[in-house]
Amino acid sequence: MAHQPLPDRVVTASAIHDNQSTNQLLIVFARIFERTAYYGFTGCIAIYLLNPPFNWDSLKALGIFSILATGIMITNLVGGLLGDLVTGRKTAALIGAICQTSGIILLCFPFDESIYIAVGLIILGTGFFSPNILAFFAQCYQTSPAKMDAGFMWLSIAANVGAFLGSFFIVWLGLENLTIAFLIAAAANLGAILCISFLKKIPLNTSGNNAAETPSKFILVYAVLAISTIFWMFYELSFYEFQIKASLIKDQFNSSIFHDDNSIAHTLNSFLVVGSGIILAIIWTFVNSNSFVKLSLGLLITSTCFILLALIPGNNASSYFTFFIAISTFLALGETSISVSVQGIIGRYAPAKFLATLFGSVSLVHVILNYAIGMIIPAVFYETDSGYLTLIGSAVITLILSLVIFILYRKFIKGIPGPVN
């Protein structure tokens, strides 16, 4: 009789697992709905402001986007902190989705005052929604942390699907009738609200890799964020060279698909990133490895792609079409692995109590470090006319970052109690 409580514990564990699986699916759909609404709104707002009855000039309209970007960066941190310490993550995400929906509906009323109130609500809503939904999603993998990277990859794919639906379908509706477009975007956000409402409570794990709230874990996570920020800075520099190479072989593409030289690189990269994400999500579902290993490999692959890209000559680039496509594919694999692995590292190793806060601070850390590092990066990377030098320099920096990540894994992560895969 002393062992009678055992069946109850087994049932409880089974129930928690079922709740986690249900929550994972609900969050994926919530992300699709929310991103559809957000990108639909951002795509339509320019049309809305530049035409009657507002007729704003482009500079004034651009100011709205600046307010939106800056505001979301700040509210991400505030929303994550409140979700962790005050309201709870589900409630914070729900508040965020309601604010977003209210803001989009308010745009149906064409007054100058309503625009600023609407944008304010959307800023507040996005700041509350995004970090808390990411933290709640990570919480769903407490009992299966090895699957977290695959989960975040599927969530990233969901966000891209939503971005596509919003940017194309809702914006297309906006060209015909902006009121209908905004109402469809609001309806999509109502779908997110419904999904969040059905999320089931999952208690925080009191054991495991991210249970202990130690300063060293904050340092480790922010070190990874710093490394990823440095990478993305050099990636942007190298992507400019990628655009140049793409424009040199543009005759090999179907010109009716692309509007200009830049769209060739961006469209190709967008399709390859989504395709790479699906491939990696499937592989990572069945093959487990640590997030630090995936991040290190992603950096190594990207570094190699930079070197190979530098080998394509500018005076005969069109004959390297197949080589360029191969490089583009592996570049997409590398960058997708990097972005999702960073999320996995936060989800697995950050102190559980402050997950939403750390997810919310990512954009702020990137902006601060971008500014600071941008002050000290050698001017040659910005002022040189040599694309070859830019790509080789970026490759060397990325390779060094890959080695640093691998050293962090060998020296620190393997020493953390519990599974490292």
Same domain, 266 and 139: no
Q: Assess contact for 352 and 211: CB atoms under 8 A.
A: yes
Q: pTM here?
A: 0.85
Least confident interval from 24-33, 171-180, 199-208: 199-208
CATH label of the domain that carries residue 383 = 1.20.1250.20
pLDDT of 400 higher than 60? yes
Q: How many residues does the chain have?
A: 421
- Closest to 217 in 3D by CA, of 420, 419, 416, 421: 416
Same-domain status, 168 and 276 = no
**Residue 79, domain member (yes or no):** yes
Which of 197, 226, 242 marks a domain boundary?
197
Question: What mean pLDDT do residues 207-214 have?
Answer: 53
- Do residues 292 and 321 both lie within one domain? yes
Quick count: other Cβ atoms within 10 Å of Cβ 223?
15
Q: Which domain holds residue 288?
A: 215-414
Amino acid at 55: N
pLDDT band at 6; cut points 50, 70, 90: very low
- Whether residues 55 and 179 fall in one domain: yes
- Cα separations (Å) of 195 from 33, 84, 200, 347, 359? 9, 20, 10, 21, 21
Is residue 205 in some structural domain?
Answer: no
Specify whether 163 is located in the same domain as 18.
Answer: yes
**What is the total count of domains within the chain?**
2
Instruction: State the DSSP string of 386-406.
Output: -HHHHHHHHHHHHHHHHHHHH
> What average pLDDT does range 363-373 have in this prediction?
70
Contact 36, 188 (CB under 8 A): yes
Identify the domain boundary among 147, 169, 197. 197
The span from the CA of 107 to the CA of 109, in Å, is 5
In this predicted model, what pLDDT tens digit does every residue of 217-262 receive, in sequence order? 778 888 898 898 889 888 888 888 888 888 777 666 555 444 455 5
pLDDT of residue 3: 47
Identify the top-confidence range among 24-28, 46-50, 243-247, 269-273: 24-28
Residue 17 lies inside a defined structural domain of this protein: yes
Q: Say if 347 falls within a structural domain.
A: yes
Q: Is residue 415 pLDDT above 60, yes or no? A: no
pLDDT of residue 187: 96
- pLDDT (mean) for 162-178: 91
Whether residue 258 sits in one domain with residue 183 = no
- In this structure, the answer to whether residues 156 and 262 fall within a common structural domain is no
Is the pLDDT at 111 greater than 90? The verdict is no
When pLDDT is cut at 50, 70 and 90, the band that residue 371 belongs to is low
